[in-house]
A and B are shown apart, each in its own frame.
Chain A
Amino acid sequence: MIKLPPIHIGKLSLLLAILVWLALLFVDLVRLIGVLNQLESGIAVEFTWILQTLYFICVYGFYKYSINKSSQSDFLNLIWRGASTGIFAVAIFVIIDLFKSSLGQSKLAKDPFLDTFFYHVEFGLITIFVISTALLWQHLILYQKSKRIVKQWQAYEIAMLISMFVVFFDRGNPEYTFFFSLALLGILGTILSANLKWIPYLTFKEKWKSLLFLAIIIFSIAYLIWNTYVSTEDIITPVNLSGSLFILALFWFILVYAVLSFLVTLFNLPTSSVFEQKLTEAINFQRLSQSIQPEENEEEVLDILMDSCMSAAYADAAWLEMTSEEFPDGFTQERFIDRKTREEISELIQHNKTVQDWASEKRPDNLSPITLKVIHPKYESLLLVPLVINKSVFGKIVLCKEVRDGFNKEMLNIISTFARQACIAVENHRLLNQAILNERYQEELKIAQRVQKSLLPTQLDHNQNFDICAYSNAADEVGGDYYDTYKLDEDRYVLIIGDVSGKGTSAAFHMSQMKGIFQSLIQLNLSPSDFMIKANSALSKCLERNHFITASIFIINTAQQTICHSRAGHVPTLFHQKSLNKSEYLQIDGLGLGILRNMQYEKHVVEKTFTYQSGDALVLFTDGIVEAKNEKSQQFGFERIRTLLEVYHELSPQEIQTKIIDSLHAFVGGDRLIDDDYSMMVVKFT
């Protein structure tokens, strides 16, 4: 299959334009032969007109494409394109003229064929120049597109297209229709020429350049018009090409637009600095409002703020003073001012009454920049700009000018806007950093939570003589409740439940210490009271002075059906005896671990051994359950737990646990949270 090369519109239209131009030249030369030899060449004059119109369209197509395609479409480049085409066209015209005059009175100079050739060259060049320039103007006119302007331009384009065909009707003899159309197109072109909005966007320097280029274009237009229409020598041209309505109307349009542009640019020169200033302010504002990235620092924003304020106020010098705690010795940034002068002026400011009033403003968010007059050999007026974040002043910018009353109201307005925007950016930056930090802490806490969960046993040691289950819930991410089991031998099992004073992270650390102490001491096969004494002695070295741990320990001997128990300040354990059908708290004295940190502790710990029967149950828990409060500030209390066990003692440990926890939540109220850690362990003997 043959692959068609992609159609290149630019090249295609250029090729077509050249071909059409050559055809036009050939047709006219043929016709010339006919005229000279007084023969009817048999070529209708319409044929030339068709070729002429085709040529217009091809050149239009080529430029339309190539101007749209050129990426560098800034104004100066566009105007320079027009100017360079103008220079080129004028240069060719001049060369042709020179060539003609160099021929002098020779026979060749009068040669009609040569004349016709030159005439066609000139026609081609004029067409290229006017069409390309008109299309460049189109870009400038449509710089700030509105529906109205686009419509106007389209109307003009259609009118121009029609004008190409006028020649078919008036048959080359300018009549009323011709002049009428010319006037109409002229008016349309003039209306379009009022769109000069691109000019203010040129910088001062660019304006000078564009003035030069526009001058070149105007000169080229003038020269080409003069050369084509005014200084026409009597050359025999078979068909008038340059007299086309299309060319004439375009000439008018590009001339009017060039002249208007030139004049407007010229008159805009003195005010261009104002426009530039406003543009810089807008850009600065945009830079300030872009929030700072977390990894960047605030100084960059303050830098931009300083630059913006200085340029907005045309300040001669400035400095920035930070009063926040991050810069205890005062962070300063100086611009065009030395330390000595700054300190001199600072001194002056501090003794100024207005500034003292200003600085003691109760509500800093109402603070606006103030101007000051100072008596200083160098600077005569000052502007103080407060930097306010979160209702407190964290710094100020001082702008200095060498002239008296150098700051006007507009400057104050724009500067206070800058300052506010910069402060918002700084504040956002701080908040963002804070948020990132918080997120990291959250992550850390999640890790702590995971680690702590793993400290509680997943498998509880027991044999077929009893069932056991346990549950723990922390008020915060981590908590201070602890329970554990240990298998001493086939018949003896240890249960422990503990509660660290306080809650949260500190409690969690102590809870992990408790786990370590339990797991190491219990292997020594200690009795419950010995365990407490040793644990107290170990914890005395680990706990902060105002922290303590409460614990209850049970050694269950399933062979003898006995329980040996010791309590260290922990909430009493509930014991249900099936034979009596009664639940009671185990009464036993005992002091919390870490309260007495000497040998005195031994006096405060006791142990008790009692027997159990099949069907008896033990419920171990922490004070979080007892002290859980409902909205009436009532505590869940020991009695409720006791009653619950008496009612549900027949159920399995898991079911008893669920009943107690459900009833706890029901008591507290569905939505309310229990603000303490709570845990429980339920044992049922089989």
Chain B
Amino acid sequence: MLTIETLQENGHDILFLKGEVDASNSVILDEAITKLVTAGSSSILVDGTGLEYISSAGLGVFMSYLEDFQEKEIDLKIYSLSDRVFEVFKILGLDQLMQIYPDKKTALLA
């Protein structure tokens, strides 16, 4: 189960992820991000407080935007990941490529 809420705050688009991202629902995440990009967002924040689990398919979604966002100069920041979920990003090496922060405050300051 995955629910995504979006919120606009001071020019940032915040995605609240709740539940688990796996092969069956990674499309929902992909659609949510694509929607923000086509709407012209330049700063996307992903709130991972409610994220319990992310599978390789879910990581694939973030990964697929890496080059695209670099070109378009769109900021994608992830924060408040649980240790378990952060571990998954770290094992794959995504922590070196993506902006991952412990909380919202540090994410906004960076």
Contacts and interface: CB of A to CB of B under 8 A. Distances in A.
Contacts of A604: 93, 96-97
Contacts of B8: none
Given A591-B96, A595-B97, A545 B64 contact: yes
Given A569-B91, A596-B66, A548 B96 contact: no
A570 interface: yes
Contacts of B32: none
Contacts of B37: none
B59 interface: yes
A569 B60 CA distance: 12
B82 to A, nearest CB: 12
B12 to A, nearest CB: 24
A504 B55 CA distance: 14
B67 A569 contact: no
A500 B60 CA distance: 11
B25 interface: no
Contacts of A31: none
Of the listed residues A500, A548, A589, the one surrounded by the most CB atoms of chain B closer than 10 A to its CB is A548
A85 to B, nearest CB: 83
Contacts of A189: none
B37 to A, nearest CB: 14
B49 interface: no
Main secondary structure of the interface of B (DSSP, over half): helix
B94 A595 contact: yes
A501 interface: yes
Contacts of A546: 26, 30, 57, 60-61, 63-64
Contacts, number: 70
B99 interface: no
B101 interface: no
Nearest to B92: A569
Contact of B91 (A501, A547, A570, A595): A570
B63 A595 contact: yes
B84 interface: yes
A291 interface: no
A591 B91 contact: no
B16 interface: no
Q: How large is the interface on A (under 10, 10 to 19, 20 to 34, 35 or more residues)?
A: 20 to 34
B95 to A, nearest CB: 10
Contacts of B60: 501-502, 546-548
Given A504-B23, A627-B53, A591 B63 contact: no
B8 to A, nearest CB: 26
Contacts of A308: none
Interface string B44-62: 0000000011011101110
Given A501-B60, A504-B23, A571-B91, A597 B67 contact: yes
Contacts of B88: 623
A503 B57 CA distance: 8
Contacts of B93: 568-569, 589-592, 595, 604
A501 B57 CA distance: 6
A635 interface: yes
Interface in A590-614: 590-592, 595-597, 604
A183 to B, nearest CB: 91
Contacts of B91: 550, 569-572, 623
A374 to B, nearest CB: 49
Nearest to B89: A569
Main secondary structure of the interface of A (DSSP, over half): loop
Of the listed residues B56, B66, B91, B92, the one surrounded by the most CB atoms of chain A closer than 10 A to its CB is B56
Interface in B17-45: 23, 26, 30
A510 to B, nearest CB: 11
Contacts of A503: 23, 57
Contact of B23 (A502, A548, A592, A595): A502
A484 interface: no
A499 interface: yes
Contacts of B26: 546
B88 to A, nearest CB: 8
Interface in A543-592: 545-548, 550, 568-572, 589-592
Nearest to A638: B87
A592 B67 CA distance: 15
Interface string B69-95: 000000000000000100010011110
A627 B52 CA distance: 12
B68 to A, nearest CB: 9
Contact of B97 (A590, A596, A633): A596
A595 B66 contact: yes
Nearest to A594: B63
A501 B56 contact: yes
A568 B57 CA distance: 17
A529 to B, nearest CB: 13
A448 to B, nearest CB: 18
Interface string A631-650: 00101000000000000000
A308 B94 CA distance: 68
A538 to B, nearest CB: 18
Nearest to A475: B23
Contacts of A547: 60
Interface string B6-19: 00000000000000
Nearest to B67: A597
A547 B62 CA distance: 10
Interface in A116-137: none
B64 A550 contact: no
Contacts of B66: 595-596
Interface in A487-511: 499-504
A501 B59 contact: yes
Nearest to A629: B53
Given A591-B97, A627-B53, A635-B84, A550 B92 contact: yes
A290 B25 CA distance: 43
Contacts of A591: 92-94, 96-97
Contacts of B97: 591, 595-596, 604
A336 B30 CA distance: 56
19 contacts: A499-B56, A502-B57, A546-B26, A546-B30, A546-B61, A547-B60, A548-B59, A548-B60, A550-B92, A569-B92, A572-B91, A589-B93, A591-B94, A595-B66, A595-B92, A595-B93, A596-B66, A623-B91, A676-B55
Given A595-B66, A633-B52, 12 more contacts: A550-B91, A568-B93, A569-B91, A570-B91, A572-B91, A590-B93, A591-B92, A591-B97, A596-B66, A604-B93, A604-B97, A635-B84
Interface of B: 23, 26, 30, 52-53, 55-57, 59-61, 63-64, 66-67, 84, 88, 91-94, 96-97
3 shortest interchain CB distances as A-B pairs = A591-B93, A501-B56, A546-B64
